[in-house]
């Protein structure tokens, strides 16, 4: 049995395939870990699901999937690594379920309580998101 579980989350308009070589490299670097890639609603394997626009709603979906894939187990450390919107979901996960996680890694993300959304997004990205 693995001694660690990692859940990897990408951002808006991205899916788990966008992790590219990183996920296998992480798994190779951490042979004692199980690495699971999760798609946000509206992306990848969940492309047919509607995005609700809420981090808490996305967390509810992903938390249930994570529990199905790798339920919390005594002695197994659990980590979430989120990029961009996935980072926001990871932070929400840590806030709502602090006893479930050993750690969180957040990359290229932001927190809504620190600045408004229009200061956290590049204007050039808006046409892609609005499509």
Q: What is the CATH number of the domain that holds 50?
A: 3.40.50.1820
pLDDT mean over 96-122: 81
pTM (predicted TM-score): 0.84
pLDDT digits (tens, 9 = 90+) for 38-81: 999 999 999 999 887 789 999 999 999 999 999 999 999 999 99
User: The dihedral of CA 96, 97, 98, 102: what is its sign?
Assistant: negative
Confidence tier at 115 by pLDDT (50, 70, 90): low
Tell me if 9 sits within 8 A of 41, measured CB to CB. no
How many whole angstroms separate alpha carbon 77 and alpha carbon 4? 5
- The percentage of the chain sitting over the pLDDT mark of 70, rounded to a whole number, equals 88
How many whole angstroms separate alpha carbon 61 and alpha carbon 39? 10
Residue 78: count of CB within 10 angstroms of its CB = 21
Residue 129 clears pLDDT 90, i.e. is over it: no
Range in 7-11, 60-64, 93-97, 113-117 the model is least confident about: 113-117
Q: Structurally, how many domains does the chain consist of?
A: 1
- The percentage of the chain sitting over the pLDDT mark of 90, rounded to a whole number, equals 74
Residue 121's pLDDT is 65
Residue-number span of the structural domain to which 89 is assigned: 4-130
The larger pLDDT score, comparing residue 114 to residue 9, is at: 9
Neighbouring C-alpha atoms within 13 Å toward the C-beta of 96: 14
């Amino acid at each position: 049995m693995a001694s660690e579980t990692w859940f990897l989350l990408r951002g808006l308009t991205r899916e788990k395939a966008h992790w590219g070589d990183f996920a296998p490299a992480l798994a190779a670097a951490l042979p004692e870990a199980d690495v699971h890639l999760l798609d946000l609603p509206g992306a990848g394997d969940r492309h047919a699901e509607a995005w609700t626009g809420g981090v808490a709603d996305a967390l509810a979906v992903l938390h249930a999937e994570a529990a199905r894939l790798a339920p919390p187990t005594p002695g197994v450390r659990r980590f979430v690594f989120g990029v961009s919107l996935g980072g926001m979901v990871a932070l929400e996960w840590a806030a709502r379920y602090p006893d479930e996680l050993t750690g969180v890694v957040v990359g290229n993300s932001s927190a809504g309580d620190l600045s408004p959304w229009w200061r956290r997004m590049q204007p050039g990205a808006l046409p892609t998101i609005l499509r």
